[in-house]
Each structure stands twice: as C-alpha cells, then as structure tokens.
Amino acid sequence: MNELETIIRNKILEKGSIPFRDFMELALYYPGLGYYERGDNPFGKTGDFYTAPGVHPVFGHTLARDFYAKWKELGCVSPFILVEFGAGQGTLAKDILNGIRLFAPDLFSVLEYRIFEKSSYLRGVQREVLADQPVTWCSASEHMGQFPGIILSNEVIDAAPVHLIVQDSEPQEVYVGEQNGQFVERLGPLSNERIHRYLREYVSPLTPGQRVEVNLHALEWLVEATEFLQNGYIVTIDYGDETEILYEGRLNGTLRGFRQHQLQTNVLASPGELDITCDVNFTALLKYGESLGMETAFFGTQGKFLTQAGIFEFLSNESAFDPFSEGVKRNMAIKHLIMPGGMGERFKVLVQRKYG
C-alpha cells in the first residue's frame, strides 16, 4: 500500500465510503502524491500517454494561424489575452507562441499569454520549458479578470474528476469503500442533486446496469470561462463525442486507466500511479454553453478543424526518400494529426463564441 492509498483509506475509515468523484480527485491531484502532482513525467514514450503537442510543433503552429484569424475577426484588439487551462509540460504554449512570433508578429506584439495550471509540479515544468517566452501564470483563476481574447483547453476536461453513475430502477452513484485492505465499489444515492439534471439534459436514456460519467466540473469550468471572457472564443480540444454516439453500446461507460500506454481496467488500484480518464460529453458542453449565451462557432473532428485552420500550408515538398528530414517528419505528423481512424477522428474540437 503506497502513501496515497493509506491517506484515502484513512478518509474512508473516518467518513465512510466516498463518491468515486472524490477518490478520482485524490488519486490525480493530491498534493505531492497524486498522479499529476508526484513529479513523474506522464507524457510521451516514457510516460503513460501521448498528446497532440507531442506529435510535432505543427499542431501548435496551426492553432497559431487560427488564433491570428480570430484576432483579426475581433478587430485586432490590444492587448489580446490568450489563456491556456492545464498546459501540460508547456509544449503547446511554446509552439503556439513560436508560431505567432514567426507568422503573426503584429499579434505577438500585443499578445499576453497566461496559463492556469492546477498542478504545482507541472507549473514548475512549464516555467522551465517557457523560460524565454512571454508567459504569466495565474495561481487562482479569479485573479485574471475580464478580457477580450481566447480561452484554450487541450486534453484538460478528460482529466476532471467525474461522478460515476449506474442505471438501476433509479440512478445509483458509485462510492469507494474499503474491504480486506482493498478499495471496492459500493452503490448509493446520488451525492449531488445536479446529477439528476445532467442525466436528464445531457445523457441519452440508459439501459439497466449501464454506467455513465457525469462531469459537473466541466460545466463549472465553462461558467468560469464565460465569466472571464469579455469578447472572444473558447476552444476545447479533447477526445469524446456527442452523447448519442458516446454511450451507444458502451454498457461500462468510458472511464479507464492507463499506465505505460497499457489499458488498466481496475482504476481503484494503486491511486496516484496511473492516469484515470474518460471521454468528454460534448453534448453537455454544447448545450450548456448555449444556455450561457454562447454561440457554437465550430464542432467537429480535429482533422476537420486543423484542415480548415490551414495545416496543409505547412506541408513540405522535400523528398520522401529522406525519412529523417524535417519536412518529411512534419508531413508524417500532419497525416497523424488529421487522418480518420486515429487522432484526427478520435479528438473533437469545440469553438464557442461569446460576444461582448
């Protein structure tokens, strides 16, 4: 039993079974011990999963092109604020900033890039990666104030703690208890009244025994984002889909764990040592955003978004006979980022517009 397991076990012994949502938050974000706080690199070949920024800088450069177009559409406001929530290792921020510096120096001169990062460990990594970049960090989101610009989240919502629901005659919530030294699931009444509304408005009718994740945090984040944004766009990139597709035939939902790129079916084992994630319910973000007064400017696959944003402008004419040349590597990365059957289809992009 690792140290975090002991802490969670003691909480259960003290308070009784806890909602799975609370277990997931402790497993991922407990200071110094949670998966994103422990000081190990979860990204890339040596970690547990890949992200689009890790494929090639062309991903960030294409976003830079798109953000430049959005800045011009907003009237070339100055200053122009770009806020990234959950910036990982800082790779995407670096690529976006380098892209803007190269392709849009007029925007770069008025740009303020801010990062809101929950993980203290990742903030430290980002400061090293972005040491020579004009970036500021916000330790508390309420300090950012209102601004015209863009709010970006790339693979952030999927890591938010979720309530886990099982359909019975009435919806039941999954709690985590302890038995014989092991964490076990127990069913109980819903811990939050807002879950009923979420299920009613954003989830298709469930079959008996079917599981579904309820991400109230995503809706709270959207409220927060709209309050910050005076005039501009919210860009959300993540794996997931609309609810009709997301849960069709998925009796066990989409919750899963990863360790060293291997799927882990028991997400209660070894908290803090594996990634816990689930697909994003984009129906919830779409509908809730509209209820907050936002307009859906784009929703579709990552491949379609990057294509419309001009990723083909970065294709190289270098000979394919040299697979190690920068141009060929970039061309291969573009294919990887946009092709159906992989990241290009699995990941979705939601662009929501708020008018000031």
Find the mean pLDDT for residues 42-66.
Answer: 79
Of 349, 345, 224, the residue nearest 288 (C-alpha): 224
Per-residue confidence (pLDDT) for residue 41, from 0 to 100: 64
Question: Cα–Cα distance between 28 and 275 in angstroms, integer?
Answer: 7
Nearest to 194, CA basis, from 212, 215, 223, 211: 215
- What residues pair up with 347 in beta bridges, in sequence order? 239
**159 or 325: which leads in pLDDT:** 159
Q: Which two tokens stand for residue 73?
A: 């559409």
**321 pLDDT more than 60:** no
Q: List CB contacts of 131: < 8 A, sequence separation 6 or more.
A: none
| Percent residues over pLDDT 70 in the chain | 93
Q: What's the pLDDT score for residue 45?
A: 55
Residue with tokens 């984009």: 282
Q: What angle do CA 119, 299, 282 make, to 5 degrees?
A: 55
More confident residue, 53 or 107: 107
- Chain centroid, CA 338 distance in Å: 18
pLDDT at 265: 82
pLDDT at residue 71 in the model:
98
How confident is the model at residue 325, as a pLDDT?
A: 78
Average pLDDT, whole number, for the chain? 91
CA nearest to 52, candidates 351, 338, 352, 350 = 338
d(CA 324, CA 228): 44
Q: 84: which residues sit within 8 A by CB, 6+ positions away?
A: 92, 93, 113, 114, 115, 116, 152, 153, 154
- 174 beta partners: 187
* Cα dihedral across residues 302, 306, 307, 308: positive or negative: positive
What CATH number was assigned to the domain covering residues 52-161+215-353?
Answer: 3.40.50.12710
Q: What is the pLDDT of residue 220?
A: 96
The structure tokens 């697909």 sit at 279
- Split at pLDDT 50, 70, 90, the class of 242 is very high
- CA angle 97/304/42 to nearest 5° reads 55
* pLDDT in the model for residue 49: 59
Q: Is 286 left (phi over 0), alpha (psi -120 to 50) or beta?
A: alpha
Instruction: Give the tens place of pLDDT for each residue, 213-234.
Output: 999 999 999 999 999 899 999 9
Q: In the predicted model, what is the mean pLDDT of residues 289-308? A: 97
**What type of residue sits at position 76?**
C
Tell whether the model's pLDDT for residue 152 goes beyond 90.
yes
Query: What's residue 345's pLDDT?
Result: 94
